[in-house]
């Protein structure tokens, strides 16, 4: 077997896990795949006979590459137009959608890169703190502190509530029908008092310039949209899990794709997450053809 074949044989079984780590760290499939490919190239150039646990070594390499990407990503976010949402992942992405919920990703976004890495590697992937410390280049005490601080922020920002899958989809179906037909009474019955609407157009398609927070403000937004959506109806492509939340994929009147995911608590919608930025939907479009 040649050198590349030998490297691939030991790398490929670990690739899905590396991809999950990178996506959770970066919120972008394209960036995650670039990082994983870079990790493979480094693995190819490594003296693999000296590596006793390939998975731990590759997790370390991938984490450090992600931390490098995050430094530049933070600078890009400062000039991003409007609210930022992670690239949507639909349930067909079997190696990615488990526990990758939008609320969790948004909570992670508010952490520092090192806090995010410590939390993900230890709390999500179950890596021992000794390995986490080696991966992020910090001592053991500092690593434990980073994970603790991150854990507190994540739980404060968004506790998780289990939602029955079928009930979630039933609410997604009802939300689609009400929002597209202008059934404002139906919408009122679904929304929680503290509901938030976030639309990410990236400055490339019309979307809100800031999150819309609170029942009255969200209802006002849907009231303004009602006439527009009746005249320019959405084409429903399908329902599905989007980043672990029930939702739907549509093709809008401008011919572009859109994903809508809803967060649910106690039978009410507490969050509506709409991705309209075509850059984040390009990959999804190729899977629907």
User: Angle between the 3-11 and 29-44 helix axes, to the nearest 10 degrees?
Assistant: 130
Alpha helices, DSSP H, located in 45-100: 54-78
pLDDT digits (tens, 9 = 90+) for 2-46: 666 777 888 999 999 999 999 989 988 889 999 999 999 999 888
Q: Taking residues 57-67, what's their average pLDDT?
A: 94
| pLDDT tens digits for range 164-208 | 888 999 999 999 999 998 899 999 999 999 999 999 999 999 888
Helix (H) / strand (E) containing 196: strand 191-200
**What pTM was computed for the model?**
0.83
Domain 165-288 sits in CATH 3.10.450.50: yes
Model confidence at 118: pLDDT above 90:
yes
Instruction: Give the integer Cα–Cα distance in Å for 246 and 168.
Output: 6
**Rounded to whole angstroms, how far apart are CA atoms 203 and 80?**
8
Residue of 259, 235, 241 whose CA lies nearest to 249: 259
The CATH number of the domain covering residues in 3-157: 1.20.140.160
Joined tokens for residue 202: 């990236």
Query: What's the whole-number average pLDDT of the chain?
Result: 88
Exposure pattern of 4-19 as b/e (b: 16+ CB <10 Å)? eeebeeebeebbebbb
Under a CB-based contact definition with an 8 Å cutoff, are residues 270 and 157 in contact? no
Q: Where in the chain is the domain with CATH 1.20.140.160?
A: 3-157
Intervals of CATH 3.10.450.50 along the chain: 165-288
């Amino acid at each position: 077997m040649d050198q590349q074949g030998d490297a691939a044989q030991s790398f490929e079984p670990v690739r899905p896990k590396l991809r999950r780590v990178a996506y959770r760290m970066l919120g972008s499939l394209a960036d995650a795949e670039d990082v994983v490919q870079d990790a493979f190239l480094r693995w190819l150039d490594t003296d693999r006979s000296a590596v006793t646990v390939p998975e731990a070594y590759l997790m370390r390499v991938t984490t450090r590459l992600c931390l490098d990407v995050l430094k530049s990503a933070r600078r890009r976010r400062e000039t991003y137009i409007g609210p930022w949402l992670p690239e949507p992942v639909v349930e067909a992405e079997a190696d990615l959608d488990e526990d990758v919920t939008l609320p969790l990703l948004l909570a992670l976004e508010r952490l520092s890169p090192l806090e995010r890495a410590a939390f993900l590697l230890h709390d999500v992937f179950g890596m021992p703190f000794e390995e986490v410390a080696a991966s992020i280049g910090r001592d053991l005490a500092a690593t434990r502190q980073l994970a603790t601080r991150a854990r507190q922020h994540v739980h404060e920002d968004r506790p998780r509530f289990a939602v029955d899958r079928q009930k979630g989809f039933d609410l997604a179906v009802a939300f689609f029908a009400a929002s597209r037909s202008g059934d404002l009474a139906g919408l009122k019955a679904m929304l929680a008092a503290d509901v938030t609407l976030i639309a990410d157009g990236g400055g490339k398609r019309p979307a809100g310039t800031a999150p819309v927070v609170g029942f009255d403000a969200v209802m006002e937004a849907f009231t303004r949209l009602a006439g527009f959506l009746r005249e320019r109806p959405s084409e429903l492509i399908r329902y599905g899990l989007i980043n672990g939340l029930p939702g739907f994929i549509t093709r809008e009147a401008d011919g572009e794709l859109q994903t809508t995911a809803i967060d649910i608590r106690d039978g009410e919608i507490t969050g509506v997450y709409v991705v309209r930025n075509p850059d984040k939907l390009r990959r999804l479009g190729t899977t629907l053809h």
